[in-house]
Structure 1
């Protein structure tokens, strides 16, 4: 199906649910296209995949979504010329039982799953073009023969249309004598079919390209493209109000392709010669050489036959010549010639416009792909600074103060490099940067391993939280594991200020404390996710009063880890903690 239909669905999802929801639907449906080329043909599975994904993302039932897609299709497609899409494969429709209060519609298609889509289209056509409400009632559904068939009753006010139909029927009953030879001259692409569907008469324009057509079965020479039904006498009679489209089974051999150079000028009309010269630049090899006829079937009771009155479907002069037809073969009384000439004139313009649109589409698709990559990078950076759940709330427009949340129990870790000021005075600023980068890179890797949250770094101070922003029961044990992993990692980091070359490594003080905190983003400038509360201050005091390469912890941490045989506690006694007075603290060790 053409990208234009898919763009219509994208437009609907974007307008109704928003760009973020559309992105989620695309990802759920595993569709990488951020946009579709209107004139390009895409897989038939894209719309059903979008509908299933949209149902999962929005919670809206799939059938209701498909009906909404059909409604939006009518409004979206009305901006474009339907005839500009030659490869489109429309379904087949025919009408029976037309009355003043509606009609019965028969729908056939090779595609399944578009029943609700059709209902949406019908309702919107009635509303947008006829200002009429149409109600659809399913009468029959069948997909047992490879063709999806739906029979439905359309209920609406049809009194005016029914009256006009009755008036036209009365006019048709007037006797207008005309001979069959006169009728056949008017329609050079006619065919007469017997009850056995044998061709008993063929138009003068068809015989040169299908010289053996007379006496043949019509289905030996032509496929029935539209309507979608059995190619039989009874089926044709029940679909006489439909457009019929027949396509030759085999490709047509050009009558003058090989001998054109030797053809004398008097064998071609002046129009043909000038048009051939003007059209030589249009050499589109993709045009097929199959003859397609489009027209109507009439039951001629006096002949006990069916008369097909058709015209060839030709995109331009180049297509016409490849089929071995001349401009003079086309009817004079209708617009066949004008359409072919207009198609030739417009083909170059359309091709140029199509090429330009495809180029723009490719550039847009590439730009959207790069934008998606940059958005992902931005998201990754943002989520490293602010928890994902909080960032999404800020994106949704919530005030930053509303993101603040109370965490009843969590564990905070502070670390600090022993003698950092002295080290900095002995080395260059760039060496300080390299030192901190190496140390923090190691710590950041450990954070991912233990699934903790890095709150901030200030100089050589490193702050981590467990149980934030997602509460968990193992917050204290995870922080304890992290603390000992950090101490082990310090043994691999050489002290750059050591001039004795003894291989001395950096030393770290670690303090941890468990309790209640408030986490959130505050302020407008340089937004950061911060933790507030006495627990933060106490954890910081545990670090500042600790000793090198040891883990100093409070009673609350001991309470959280009681029963965990992986750790043991060495009582340090009561010490003076600034702002807290005397506190009973412990050295945490691995058992």
Structure 2
């Protein structure tokens, strides 16, 4: 969607834009150190392309939810090779083309011309694209020369039982896809695998091809990932399934209620064709994210091979996971405290804003926040209407009642007036003693300013029947003066700044009220 929108804005064709994205991405990832991974994938371009399918596997630990594409090379010659690209994401063909050309130029100083031979969208949501890559593949000649001079001395004979013990998670199957032999590690957790179809026992997750004899032989340079179709029922020392009795055999601290996917065994490794056996052997290693998953799949540390890093990865990964969990918990606690502090800060900021907007119009306050000088907020309003009011006989009333009664009386009156300002869309400028001042037409301009203020004045008079003189019990009376004209409005002063109005219109309205 982003690419289509960019294409519409820039006028660049979408394929050309995606190609440019691919070129730029290769340079972009170099800023974060991923160029070092790309540089060590192969000595030559052909080595890089043959190992391209395994690239995303190296990123699995950093991005566990990654759903990578699949790559496969064939028909290699000294002038290039054919590359098959399969992905569950559509629309990235030209993006991949740009990446391939940039990798050749940036890391191998080789010009790669990419030609799309075929593009197919399958019903299961898989896109299959066949590229023909044209480049100087001199490494292909060197490799063929070395193969022709391979040493033919006989190797030390190794018995098959020793071989299957050294590689406990191997699977041997023939062209009919029947399993002929499995390693001792698989024998310990699976029953009667031998003699069954391999695709009935395992699904092929990678590469993204059908699990057939031909595809296996064509992808021997690719990493294979097999997952058992059925979850493994862990058995206790007495032969009972620990899942059926509520997991009573589980050590303390292990979660026995893992879902079925957690109890499926995942194997990753390489497929090799054995000419003498007329079979393919899969030499794999179980992938365990933690000790709990190992327990649920019925494996133990000593089931893993000693000659590779399988044991170290599981134990080190568990220790690192515990450390990361502790660090994550601490960060979550800090995050919760920070969120609470931010929430309280937002509440206080809202209170501050409400108080500020009661003193200064919102539009003016926002300009002051941006750093404008107060004098720059001054503005001329050509047409406004101003209203002044005060209490008749206010001085005599104050002489007959206590100061607290005066405050209570004014508070009751101003509360009613404040409600009327909201009703009639007028702005309260200030109160001084018993004087109350409002304006319409500023700070928000309107051609109905006189109507609003007139309605406000009438409602003020009507509201007085609800207010009494505390000294006599009679209804309070007020005087009101109104005038329309031009004013200058702005914020004046540094301490306790106020938004004030200046001009003859203000003076005339005040005299209208007092006379």
C-alpha contact (below 8 Å) 1:257/1:324 kept by paired residues: no
Partner residue, 2:227: 247
Q: For residues 525 and 70 of structure 1, what CA distance do their matches in structure 2 show?
A: 58
Partner residue, 1:432: 406
Alignment of 1:293-372 (within 5 A): 293-298=266-271, 300=273, 302=275, 307-372=281-346
Once the two structures are superposed, residues 294-314 of structure 1 have per-residue CA deviations (whole angstroms, 9 ceiling, x without a partner) of 424436284676543322122
In the alignment, structure 2 segments of 5+ residues that lack a partner are 7-16, 35-57, 243-249
Matched, 1:208 2:188: yes
Partner residue, 1:93: 69
Residue 325 of structure 1: CA displacement? Answer: 0.9
C-alpha contact (below 8 Å) 2:232/2:264 kept by paired residues: yes
Distance 1:320 1:418, change over 3 A: same
Q: For residues 431 and 355 of structure 2, what CA distance do their matches in structure 1 show?
A: 16
Residue 330 of structure 1: CA displacement? Answer: 0.7
Partner residue, 2:254: 283
Q: For residues 130 and 28 of structure 2, what CA distance do their matches in structure 1 show?
A: 21
C-alpha contact (below 8 Å) 1:92/1:107 kept by paired residues: no
Q: For residues 362 and 215 of structure 1, what CA distance do their matches in structure 2 show?
A: 57
Once the two structures are superposed, residues 168-217 of structure 1 have per-residue CA deviations (whole angstroms, 9 ceiling, x without a partner) of 78767746868793654443223345556554443321232222333444
Aligned length: 451
C-alpha contact (below 8 Å) 2:72/2:219 kept by paired residues: no
Q: For residues 408 and 209 of structure 2, what CA distance do their matches in structure 1 show?
A: 77
Which of 480, 491, 496 matches 1:521?
491
Partner residue, 1:267: none
Partner residue, 2:442: 468
C-alpha contact (below 8 Å) 2:484/2:505 kept by paired residues: yes
TM-score computed with the length of structure 1 as normaliser:
0.61
TM-score computed with the length of structure 2 as normaliser:
0.69
Of 293-302 and 510-519, the range deviating more from structure 2: 293-302
Once the two structures are superposed, residues 212-233 of structure 1 have per-residue CA deviations (whole angstroms, 9 ceiling, x without a partner) of 3334444443444455565556
Q: For residues 538 and 396 of structure 1, what CA distance do their matches in structure 2 show?
A: 35
In the alignment, structure 1 segments of 5+ residues that lack a partner are 1-47, 56-62, 263-278, 546-591
Q: For residues 152 and 443 of structure 1, what CA distance do their matches in structure 2 show?
A: 79
Q: For residues 141 and 366 of structure 2, what CA distance do their matches in structure 1 show?
A: 64
Q: For residues 300 and 286 of structure 2, what CA distance do their matches in structure 1 show?
A: 12
C-alpha contact (below 8 Å) 2:267/2:286 kept by paired residues: yes
Partner residue, 1:406: 380
Partner residue, 1:395: 369
Q: Secondary structure at the match of 2:69?
A: strand
C-alpha contact (below 8 Å) 1:415/1:508 kept by paired residues: yes
Once the two structures are superposed, residues 249-290 of structure 1 have per-residue CA deviations (whole angstroms, 9 ceiling, x without a partner) of 332111336669x9xxxxxxxxxxxxxxxx956434575542
Distance 1:368 1:338, change over 3 A: same
C-alpha contact (below 8 Å) 1:94/1:241 kept by paired residues: no
Q: For residues 113 and 427 of structure 2, what CA distance do their matches in structure 1 show?
A: 57
Alignment of 1:441-590 (within 5 A): 441-498=415-472, 501=473, 504-545=474-515
Q: For residues 27 and 439 of structure 2, what CA distance do their matches in structure 1 show?
A: 52
Partner residue, 1:108: 87
Distance 1:359 1:403, change over 3 A: same
RMSD of equivalent CA atoms: 4.9
Distance 1:366 1:220, change over 3 A: farther
Alignment of 1:4-403 (within 5 A): 88-95=64-71, 106=85, 108-109=87-88, 145=123, 147=125, 149=127, 174=150, 181=160, 184-192=164-172, 194=174, 198-226=178-206, 242-256=222-236, 282-284=253-255, 289-298=262-271, 300=273, 302=275, 307-403=281-377
